[in-house]
Structure 1
Amino acid sequence: MNNNVLLNVTGLHTQSVYADIRSFIDSFTSKHTQQTYERSIRIFFMWYTGKTLEELTPDDLAIKNAKFTNYQSYLRNHDVNYSNTTINNMTAAIQSLYTFLEINEYNVKSLNLKLKSLKENPEHAGSLRADEAEQMAQLVLKQRKGQEKSALIRLAYTTSFRKSSLLSLKWDDFSFKGNYYEVKVIVKGGDVHENSIPVELYKELLKIKEQPYYQQYTDNRLFHLGNKAIQAMMDTLRAELNISETRNIVFHSFRNVAVKFGTLEEAQEQLGHSNIHTTKVSYDNETKDLSNRPSMRMHNKISDDVFKSLSKEELISLILNEDSGVLMRLKMRAVEFGNQGNDKE
Structure 2
Amino acid sequence: MEAVVNNVVGFHTGTVYEDINTFLNSFDSINTSKGYEYNLRTFYMWFKGKPVETLNSDDLHIRNADMLKYRKYLESHEADYSNGTINRMIAAIQSLYVFLETNDYDVKSAVTKIKKLSDDSERSGFFHASEIEQIPSILMGTVKGFEKTMLVKMAWTTSFRKTSLLSIEWDDIVSNEDTGNYKVTTIGKGGKKHSVDIPVELYEELLHMKEIDYYAKYQDNKVFHLSTTTIQAMMDYIKAKLNISDVRNIVFHSFRNFASMFGTLEELKKHYNHSSIGVANKYYGRDEKNKSSDIGLRISDKIEDSIFEELSKDQLIALIRLQHEGSVFQMKRDAKTMISSV
Please tell me the TM-score bracket, short chain as reference. 0.7 to 0.9
Whole-Å separation in 1 of the counterparts to 2:198 and 2:20: 47
Which has the larger displacement, 259-268 or 57-66? 57-66
Q: Identify unmatched segments of 5+ residues in structure 1.
A: 1-12, 289-310, 327-345
* 2:34 counterpart SS class: helix
* 2:183 counterpart SS class: strand
Paired AA for residue 222 in structure 2 = R
Whole-Å separation in 1 of the counterparts to 2:312 and 2:42: 57
Question: What's 1:237 paired with?
Answer: 238
Q: Per-residue CA shift, 1:309-334, capped at 9, x if unaligned?
A: xx957969x97xx99x97xxxxxxxx
Task: Verify: 1:220 aligned to 2:239, yes or no.
Answer: no
Sort the Cα spacing of 1:14 and 1:147 in 2 relative to 1 into closer, same or farther, 3 A.
Answer: farther
Question: What's 1:56 paired with?
Answer: 55
Whole-Å separation in 2 of the counterparts to 1:314 and 1:278: 36
Paired AA for residue 48 in structure 1 = F
Paired AA for residue 40 in structure 2 = I
Question: What's 1:264 paired with?
Answer: 265
Q: Report the CA distance between 1:227 and its aligned residue.
A: 1.3
Sort the Cα spacing of 1:237 and 1:212 in 2 relative to 1 into closer, same or farther, 3 A.
Answer: same
Question: What's 1:77 paired with?
Answer: 76
Q: Per-residue CA shift, 1:280-319, capped at 9, x if unaligned?
A: 2222xx559xxxxxxxxxxxxxxxxxxxxxx957969x97
Sort the Cα spacing of 1:287 and 1:98 in 2 relative to 1 into closer, same or farther, 3 A.
Answer: farther
* 1:40 counterpart SS class: helix
Question: What's 1:209 paired with?
Answer: 210
Whole-Å separation in 2 of the counterparts to 1:94 and 1:167: 30
CA contact (8 A) 1:133 1:153 kept: no
Question: What's 1:9 paired with?
Answer: none
Question: What's 1:250 paired with?
Answer: 251
Identity %: 49
Question: What's 2:141 paired with?
Answer: 142
Whole-Å separation in 2 of the counterparts to 1:231 and 1:77: 10
Whole-Å separation in 1 of the counterparts to 2:132 and 2:65: 37
Which has the larger displacement, 244-253 or 134-143? 134-143
Residues 1-345 of structure 1: matches in 2 within 5 Å? Answer: 15-177=14-176, 179-283=180-284
Paired AA for residue 149 in structure 1 = K
Q: Report the CA distance between 1:62 and its aligned residue.
A: 1.9
Q: Per-residue CA shift, 1:33-72, capped at 9, x if unaligned?
A: 3333222222212322333322322222223333332221
Q: Report the CA distance between 1:180 and its aligned residue.
A: 1.6
CA contact (8 A) 2:71 2:86 kept: yes
Sort the Cα spacing of 1:73 and 1:207 in 2 relative to 1 into closer, same or farther, 3 A.
Answer: farther
How many residue pairs get aligned? The number is 287
Whole-Å separation in 2 of the counterparts to 1:194 and 1:261: 18
Sort the Cα spacing of 1:93 and 1:207 in 2 relative to 1 into closer, same or farther, 3 A.
Answer: same
Whole-Å separation in 1 of the counterparts to 2:117 and 2:18: 31
Whole-Å separation in 1 of the counterparts to 2:183 and 2:211: 22
Q: Per-residue CA shift, 1:200-257, capped at 9, x if unaligned?
A: 2112212322222212111010111111111111112112211121211110111121
Whole-Å separation in 2 of the counterparts to 1:171 and 1:49: 36
Whole-Å separation in 2 of the counterparts to 1:67 and 1:201: 45
CA contact (8 A) 1:147 1:207 kept: no
Whole-Å separation in 2 of the counterparts to 1:261 and 1:177: 21
CA contact (8 A) 2:269 2:277 kept: yes
Whole-Å separation in 2 of the counterparts to 1:242 and 1:216: 36
Q: Report the CA distance between 1:186 and its aligned residue.
A: 1.9
Sort the Cα spacing of 1:60 and 1:256 in 2 relative to 1 into closer, same or farther, 3 A.
Answer: same
Whole-Å separation in 2 of the counterparts to 1:34 and 1:22: 9
Whole-Å separation in 1 of the counterparts to 2:310 and 2:182: 37
Whole-Å separation in 2 of the counterparts to 1:87 and 1:135: 33
* 1:273 counterpart SS class: coil
TM-score normalised to the size of structure 1? 0.74
Paired AA for residue 224 in structure 1 = H
* 2:124 counterpart SS class: coil
TM-score normalised to the size of structure 2? 0.75
CA contact (8 A) 1:14 1:57 kept: no
* 1:158 counterpart SS class: helix
CA contact (8 A) 1:184 1:192 kept: yes
Structural RMSD (CA): 3.0
